[in-house]
Homo-oligomer: A and B are copies of this chain.
Amino acid sequence: MTLTPFDFAALLPAGLPAPATKWTGLAKYSFVGGNNDPEQVPVGGLIDAANAVLGREGRTLATYGLASGPQGYAPLRAFLTAKLKRDAGIACTADDILIVSGSLQALDLVNQTLLSRGDTVIVEQDSYQGALNRLTRLGVHAVGIPLDHEGMRTDALAAALADLRDRGILPKYIYTIPTVQNPTGTIMPEARRAELLDLAEQYGVPVFEDDCYADLIWDGKRPPALYAMSQTGGVIHIGSFSKSIAPALRVGYIVAPWVLLSRMLALKTDAGSGALEQMVLAEYCTPHFSEHVPKLTRGLRAKLDTLMEALNEQFGTAAEFEDPKGGIFLWVKLPDQVDTPKLYQAALAAGVAINPGPEWSTDKAHSHNRLRLCFASPSHQEIREGVAVLAEVCRREFGVPERIANIGQPIRA
């Protein structure tokens, strides 16, 4: 270049998010992200599916949306109709389903359809970072409801709804992850689901049900979806293939009434989600989903056992956690003096990536000593080694755990 380089920075409008930093690869011990177990990707099945569906219908790739229109590949919606009925008790038709580019696009479309800057929504106090961050960017106030071992506490929800009504505020939705809650791993029992729906109906607030982890349950048993239980139809249901098949496939779905889907379709100006991924998923899942998922969850449960054993061994009583009923993450509480955002920085420098609690919570004080550990992606050995490094870093930075691996000397003799 012979002239002064063009100054793009001068053109950027105010209010943009901070720039991304250059990607430098995954941490050596990565306990973050919704990544799955590479050994559990059904590679052979996906290859067979690609061969079959491309051989039969490959020419339809020449048409946007294949021959299925903008709501997504018809055989995938047919599979979902049957799966949602069988697993979640949802009675819907393919016309009630919109295939989207991962459940993140589902979050965006629901938010764009319902929210304006300044609105209020209700969320679980500890919740999915991607959902919380979206609300912050949209300028939407998120009221966090405390959780217990049955998920969102309906006594606290009732109090929050009453308080908001007293202040003249109608929340736009109640966002919940009722089936394998992120990050706490709880499953809301049917009785509490009924209480939640009663409150939602009483106050005229729709429920936004995120069921994207609901396939990963150790005993395979789950209550019906809120969508299935609602008597008024006031529930939006979303799900994903990221956790059950593979996250790099960006395929999720929304189940909602046409009054909403028609608005979401008008906002979904991407000419459809990836057709090849939809075709391969439909071809693979229709015959194989039910046999694949139990194998996957057995492997995940084994990794969770390794993680909990390693935490017990390395942290002793300093690490508190509930045994989650499914999923790919463990929500861990450390002693009060630990600040997990600081731990995150120190651990990353030592090659261990964790999710610090405040990024997954509306209550920074409550979550300052909590962290999320994802266990699906690292190997058993990496889990053991990574937790050992994390404990060493935590002891160095915060003085806990006092002993390492039951063989260290007490710091205060």
Given contacts A64-B247, A246-B62, A262-B19, contact A270 B104 (CB under 8 A): yes
Contact of A248 among B21, B62, B266 (CB under 8 A): B62
Enumerate chain B residues within 8 angstroms of A21, measured Cβ to Cβ: 262
- Which A147-175 residues sit within 8 Å CB-CB of chain B? 172
State whether the Cβ of A130 lies closer than 8 Å to any Cβ in chain B: yes
A5-B232, A104-B269 known; A46+B54 contact, CB < 8 A? yes
- Closest-by-CB residue of B relative to A107 is B269
Query: Given the interface contacts A8-B259, A274-B101, does A38 sit within 8 Å of B63 by beta carbon?
Result: yes
Could you say which residues of chain B place their CB within 8 Å of the CB of A113?
12, 16
Stretch at the interface among A275-283, A306-314, A316-324: A275-283
Instruction: Please report whether the interface of chain A is mostly helix, strand, loop or mixed according to DSSP.
Output: loop
Complex Cα distance, B37 from A274, in Å, reads: 18
Say which residue of B11, B14, B54 sits within 8 Å of A172 (CB atoms): B11
| Closest B residue by C-beta to A17 | B266
Which residues on the B side are within 8 Å of A16 (C-beta)? Answer: 113, 263, 266-267
Q: Is the CB of A41 within 8 A of B17?
A: no
How far, in Å, is A24 (CB) from chain B's closest CB?
A: 8
The answer to whether A270 and B64 touch across the interface, beta carbons within 8 angstroms, is: no
Tell me, rounded to whole Å, the shortest Cβ–Cβ distance linking A355 to chain B: 14
C-beta contact mask, A326-361 vs B, less than 8 Å → 1, else 0?
000000000000000000000000000000000000
Q: Name the B residues within 8 Å of A39 (CB-CB).
A: 59
Q: How far is the CB of A157 from chain B (nearest CB, A)?
A: 17
Q: Judging by beta carbons under 8 Å apart, are A272 and B260 in contact?
A: no
On chain B, the residues within 8 Å of A41 by CB distance are: 58-59, 61-62
Q: Is A50's CB within 8 Å of the partner chain B?
A: yes
Residues of B near A2 (CB, < 8 A) are 231
| A3 touches B (CB below 8 Å) | yes
| Residue A290 interfacial (CB < 8 Å) | no
* A9 in the interface (beta carbon within 8 A): yes
Whether B62 and A37, one on each chain, are in contact in the complex, defined by CB atoms closer than 8 angstroms, is yes
Binds B, one of A28-36, A183-191, A214-222, A386-394: A28-36
The interface centre, meaning the residue of A3, A250, A377 with most chain B CB atoms within 10 A of its CB, is: A250
B134 touches A23 (CB 8 A): no
A64 partner, pick from B14, B34, B95, B269, beta carbons under 8 A: B34
Question: Would you give the shortest CB distance from A95 to chain B, in whole angstroms?
Answer: 8
* Most interface-central of A6, A25, A41 (chain B CB within 10 A): A6
Contact A58 B54 (CB under 8 A): no
Please give the distance in Å from A258's CB to the nearest CB on chain B.
8
- In Å, the complex CA distance between A403 and B136 comes to 63
Q: Chain B residues near A17 (CB, 8 Å)?
A: 263, 266-267
A411 on the B face (CB < 8 A) = no
Interface check A75, CB cutoff 8 A: no
Across-interface contacts of A102 in B (CB, < 8 A)? 270-271
Within 8 Å CB of A104, what residues of B?
269-271
Are B377 and A63 neighbours in the complex by a CB distance under 8 Å? yes
10 contacts between A and B (CB under 8 A): A3-B201, A11-B206, A17-B266, A19-B265, A20-B265, A47-B50, A64-B247, A104-B271, A133-B269, A248-B275
